[in-house]
Structure 1
Amino acid sequence: MFKLTRIKSLALGLIVSLSIGNCWAGSASPTDNQHDVEVLKSFAKNVEQYAAKQGARAFIIGRIGRPESQLPDGVTFTHAAIAIYSEIQLDNGDKAQGYAVHNLYQKEGDKSRSELVTDYPIDFFWGVHQLKAGIIIPKPELQQRLIATIARGDNVKVHNPQYSVMANPFNDQYQNCTEHTLDVINASIYQTTDKAKLKANAKAYFQPQRIKTSPIALMFGSAFMKDLTMKDHSGKIYTATFTSIARYLNNNNLISEAVLLNENGIANPLL
């Protein structure tokens, strides 16, 4: 009885901690925000201004949506997306220049499915536990390719709506937000939306993050979570993370800068 209770406890802990891909759409109520709204707005604006000062037309953005103590070892960010400098229509109908964030989010009514949603930095950071942002600025040529890829709708072509928190980045059975971000990056690098080619190149050059946890806890966790499955894995569990994407771009000389920006506007190296 004790052993079974212990396993269930591990599984329930896993359900909390494995929210690494739990990417919710921008329909949160004001009670979901854990920070003063003006402070949150200021932080989101600081992120935009930092990226703009670096001349970023496109960058990869990450957030910390859960307490860091609940995250698996080696995982820092809970969500990743691509921000593109764009013309934005404001609520009053006016137009302004700013960053539009292109996300993969889980559907509210069915977490085992995902959809592509474009929002803005204030929406992106709504509900985060910590006012910290991950910012990966690719080399200018890759920035231009990312802009063109999204403008063509190739991000839609590489989207797989079958969602799993622990999606294996080396096959196309399931996808989470970080794997989608990686797929869009590789679609830009290799100029293809052929999923077989994208996965072959990922397997050849991308090193994912090993997720170390009990197989029994994973088994019980998958029984409770519609958005957690191990069907696309054999053996050890690996998935794409924000930091593993930064390492991938850095190792291939495709990155200009990768930083963690805190609420005081101080940027520290990510790698």
Structure 2
Amino acid sequence: MNRFAAGLAAALLVTTPVFAGDESGDSAATAAGHLTPTQIASFAKQIETDLAAKGARVAIVFRTSRPHDKLPPGIAYTHGAFWVYRDIKTSDGRVLKGYAVYNLYHGDGKTLPVSQSYLKQDFPLNFTSTTAESDVGIIIPTPEMQRRLYGLIGTPAYDALHVRDYSLVSNPWDPRYQNCVEFLLDVVASAAWETTSYPQIKANLKAHFTPTRVKAGFLQRTFGPMADPRLQTDDQPGPIATATFESLADFMLTRKLASQSYVLKRAD
């Protein structure tokens, strides 16, 4: 374990970031709890410790708010976020070191329409509190990509990559809509090609990124005849395709933007 990893692991033994509470705009916020409060805290700490052992200043972590057997084939997770190790200010004014979690959430239908999204920084406990399974998917960017992402996340340039119009199955080659994974992809692309030009990012992704196909039958079974404002498909000129943990990991590993991708199971 290198010096950074050792120091980070030690810090995580004595600090726990503030739990900001349930995030109503999160697509998983109303899901039935899979884990007990004790398990939620333990799983959050397990993920932090795992990232610390790998010396990760920036990682991309995925969870699912639906059981795996309710998801379409080839798609394991429904939500992903950046985990960034940095200073965190607690509610009592202290500044601690720990992982901050950077998300894109869709609206709750009350304060913001569900067809709109917003960016929110919260904490590992928020992330694990709404998981429907006992595993997460993790992508560890290369050290150079971590450096670039660390300098980008949370800045005005990062905010400018956010598209408010939301779709559950947004087309990552098209600029009209965005979901949480497409936002992650856009930020990764911005850091990889060192550009903040959104048209250029989309052109580069169309040339180099292969999205995940979503079978139309799954959408029909899930939504049936219902009209769901989160399900927009006018950006899909052909078969439904969107960004997922699987396609983002493949893109980053193939282009040497990530050092590894793996599934972490909750310790019993």
SS at match of 1:59: strand
Match of 1:113 among 104, 111, 116: 116
5 Å-filtered alignment, 1:259-270, equals 259-264=262-267
1:129 correspondence with 2:113: no
**Structure 1 residues 145 and 29 mapped into 2: Cα distance closer, same or farther (>3 Å)?**
closer
The verdict on how the C-alpha distance between 1:221 and 1:194 changes in structure 2, with shifts beyond 3 A counting, is farther
- The CA deviation at 1:178 is 0.3
Aligned position for 1:166: 169
The answer to whether the 8 Å contact 2:81/2:101 transfers is: yes
**Alpha-carbon shift at residue 152 of structure 1 (Å):** 2.9
- Whichever residue aligns with residue 183 of structure 2, its letter is H
State the one-letter code of the partner of 1:210. Answer: R
**Which sections of structure 2, spanning at least 5 residues, go unmatched?**
1-22
Report what 2:90 is aligned to. 90
Structure-2 separation of matches of 1:43 and 1:215? 30
Structure (1/2) with the larger helix percentage: 1
Q: Which amino acid aligns with 2:217?
A: S
| In 2, Cα distance between equivalents of 1:86 and 1:187 | 21
1 CA distance for matches of 2:232 and 2:221? 8
1:247 equivalent among 250, 255, 258: 250
Sequence identity percentage: 36
State the partner residue of 1:15: none
Looking at structure 1, the residues matched to 188 and 115 of structure 2 have their Cα atoms a distance apart, in angstroms, of 23
1:64 maps to a residue whose letter is T
Give the TM-score taking structure 2 as reference length.
Answer: 0.84
Q: Give the ranges of 4+ consecutive aligned residues of structure 1 lying more than 6 Å apart after TM superposition.
A: 26-31
1:33 pairs with 2:36:
no
- 1:16 maps to none
2:27–2:106 contact (8 Å) kept in structure 1: no
2:183 is the alignment partner of 1:142 = no
Say whether 1:80 aligns with 2:86: no
Is residue 2:166 matched to residue 1:152? no
Structure 1-normalised TM-score?
0.83
Is the 1:112–1:226 Cα contact (8 Å) retained in structure 2?
yes
Q: Pairwise mapping of residues 219-258 of structure 1 onto structure 2 (< 5 A)?
A: 221=224, 223-258=226-261
RMSD: 2.4
Q: Which residue of 2 is the match for residue 68 of structure 1? A: 68
Q: Which amino acid aligns with 2:33?
A: N
- Kindly tell me the number of residue pairs found equivalent between the two proteins: 243
CA–CA distance in structure 2, aligned partners of residues 26 and 105 of structure 1: 5
Cα deviation for residue 70 of structure 1 reads 1.0
Match of 2:187 among 164, 173, 184: 184
